[in-house]
Each structure stands twice: as structure tokens, then as C-alpha cells.
Amino acid sequence: MGSRRSNPRATGARKSSIGRQTRPALVCALVVLALLAAGCGVEEHADEPRPQPPTRVSVAVAEDGITVDPPRIAFGPEPTQQIPQNRDAGQPPVRSQEPLDVVLVTANLTDTESRLRVRGPRRSASSPALVANGNISMLAALPTGVYEVSAANLPDVEPARLTVGPYRSSSSNDVLLP
């Protein structure tokens, strides 16, 4: 009886001891990779001010001229805030040279289709078609300066002025805004 059988327990013990040695190294490698992945990404600080919500300006294009209301924006805190529940909270200023986002809500009170044009010292913007007796909203990023607001296809309509100041406020006190 010269057959020799291998002991299955001895082989299993050898395999489990190898697995026990590599398991902590594998766990450590996974932890290191997870920490590296968590450390990479966008750096953001909670105390940085949020961007200003767009400022709304009403524009009316009529046969006798264009009206812009208000004609001056970004010269201090806005007289009204986006959300009435924050009326007693101050608007923290933002130190930025970024252009001001302005939403031009425009009504064409004429019988001629046109386009709204906003021309300034460093930047110009033009709206899509502004249908006769229709309205449109246009978003423009306007740096500090004086802008001429005119209507294309209506050369007899007197243009208006829009002045954009250097003040920018944070939307930190306005809830439900980015």
C-alpha cells in the first residue's frame, strides 16, 4: 500500500495562508485608490459667494422710440430681490470683473418684424426675430459700460441707452437659486 494520498487540509491551509497575506494588501490598495479619487476634482469652498442672478430689464419698441426700464443697472443693491421672503436680508457684494447677465424682456409694439440690438464699448448682442406686436426674452452678458439699444429694420425709431455699472451681488441670500 504504497499509494500516497495528499492531505487536503494541508493544501487548503497553504491556500488560505496565501489569501490571508494578500487580502490586507488588496484592501490597502483599494483604500488608497478611493482616497486619491476623492481628492481629485473641483475645489469648491462653502464661503465663496454664489453668482448673481440675472438682472431683468424691460424694453418696449414703439413707433416713436425705444423705452428701457430701468435705464441704469448694477450701481448698488437691486431695489427688489428675486424672492420677497428675503426682503430684509442684505445682498452681499461680489468682487468680480465678470459681465453682468441681463435678461432683456422686450415687447415690439409696432407692425414691423425686427431684431433687438444691444451695442456697447466691448460687446454687442442681437436677439432672434422680434415679431410684430410680439415679445421676446433675450439673455446678454454685458460688461460695465454704456449700451445703445436699437431695433433693426426700424431706422426711424429712436434708440435708448442702458448703463451697466460695476456692482455685482451674490445670490447667497436667495433660496432656490443656483
DSSP 119-145: E-SS-EEE-S-B-TT-EEEEEEEE-SE
- Does this model's pTM top 0.85? My answer is no
pLDDT at 35 > cutoff 80: no
pLDDT at 122: 84
DSSP letter (8 states) at residue 75: S
pLDDT at 55 > cutoff 80: yes
> For the segment 92-143, what is each residue's pLDDT rounded down to a tens digit?
656 667 899 999 999 999 999 999 999 998 889 999 999 999 999 999 999 9
pLDDT at 75: 85
User: How many helices (H) does the chain have, and how many strands (E)?
Assistant: 1, 9
Query: Could you give the strand order of the β-sheet that contains 135-142, starting from the edge strand earlier in sequence?
Result: 65-69, 55-62, 100-108, 135-142
pLDDT at 95: 63
Instruction: Give the residue extent of every domain in the chain.
Output: 9-41, 55-83+91-164
Separation CA 139–CA 102 (nearest Å): 6
> For the segment 166-177, what is each residue's pLDDT rounded down to a tens digit?
887 766 655 555
pLDDT class for 54, splitting at 50, 70, 90? confident
Q: Give 141's contacts (C-beta < 8 A, 6+ positions apart).
A: 99, 100, 101, 102, 123
pLDDT class for 22, splitting at 50, 70, 90? confident
Q: Quick one: cell of 16?
A: 488560505
DSSP helix/strand/coil, 11 = helix
| CA 92 to mean position of chain CA atoms | 17
pLDDT class for 89, splitting at 50, 70, 90? low
Mean pLDDT of 36-56: 69
Please give the mean pLDDT across all residues of the chain: 79
> For the segment 142-151, what is each residue's pLDDT rounded down to a tens digit?
999 999 999 9
Q: Which fold has domain 55-83+91-164?
A: Immunoglobulin-like (2.60.40)
